Amino acid sequence: MRVLVTGAAGMLGQALLPALAAAGHEALGVDVAEADVTRLDALQRVARPFRPDWVVHLAAFTKVDDCESQPDLAFLVNGLGARNAALAAAGCGASVLAISTDYVFDGRGTRPYREYDAAAPRSVYGASKWAGERAVREVHPRHVIVRTSWLFGSGGPNFVDTVLARARTGEPLRVVDDQRGSPTLTGDLAQGLLKLMDANQPGTYHCTNSGECTWYDLAAYAVGRAGIATRLERTDTASFPRPAQRPAYSVLSNQFFEHVTGHRLPSWQDAVDRHVRSGVAAR
């Protein structure tokens, strides 16, 4: 396959490009310098000569709190950008795979969200990603939309590495214990995306590492596996007010993904173990 990847310099892009190469696919990664996703003509200029089979759209404005103060930019990048990626794919005969988020849900659920549950975003970030989902569905029938959550991995700032870096200073850490989700390693998600492209069945899928936990659970597990002696304290979301509302519950059901691909992503604990052992988290 020939695969064009937007947002290639991001954390997930840095995991997906080598995964594509290892699987024998030809990949072209572009970032904002090569192709601004808010401009359809810029995407078309790189897509048409490359003639991809897939356009994998990873580019996004993911600074959740900044989205609250910059809503126009959030909708331009996350909404129009996704539409442009789908249009560019359609224009050169390619399928499109677009990444979305658990933030499209309101977080008031009590069981894992399924793909057909009603979206009700409570933040600008979530609303802009939901706008991007709808745009992709509207303009290109050969689409795969993948919702994921709580990403960590090499190549970018993430919760696991931030916690480990702070823990190594010896300072006590207060971590919220009333938000629940599924931590997801970018390398594992990249493998999941490959499985979905191989399956080539249009639709919306949830794809995360297996299992669920709170941010406190994740911090405690990562610190313990890294062998760092520090004090962790439980706290709640109300004690850390932020501009954007966080979903209290954002566990996603992977049932559709697993049924279509025959693949199950490893547990989040296994993913953290591998990330810590890799040494990436030490840097």
Contact in structure between 233 and 172 (CB atoms under 8 Å): yes
- Of 103, 113, 125, 221, catalytic: 125
Place of tokens 């559709």: 256
Give CA separation, 241 vs 132, 158, 174, 180, 237, in Å: 27, 19, 14, 17, 7
SS3 103: helix
Residue 99 CB-density burial (10 A; 0-12 exposed, 13-18 middle, 19+ buried)? buried
Active-site annotation holds for 249: no
The angle subtended at Cα 251 by Cα 247 and Cα 257, nearest 5°, is: 135
> Which tokens is 108 given?
């008031």
For the annotated catalytic residues, the residue numbers are 125
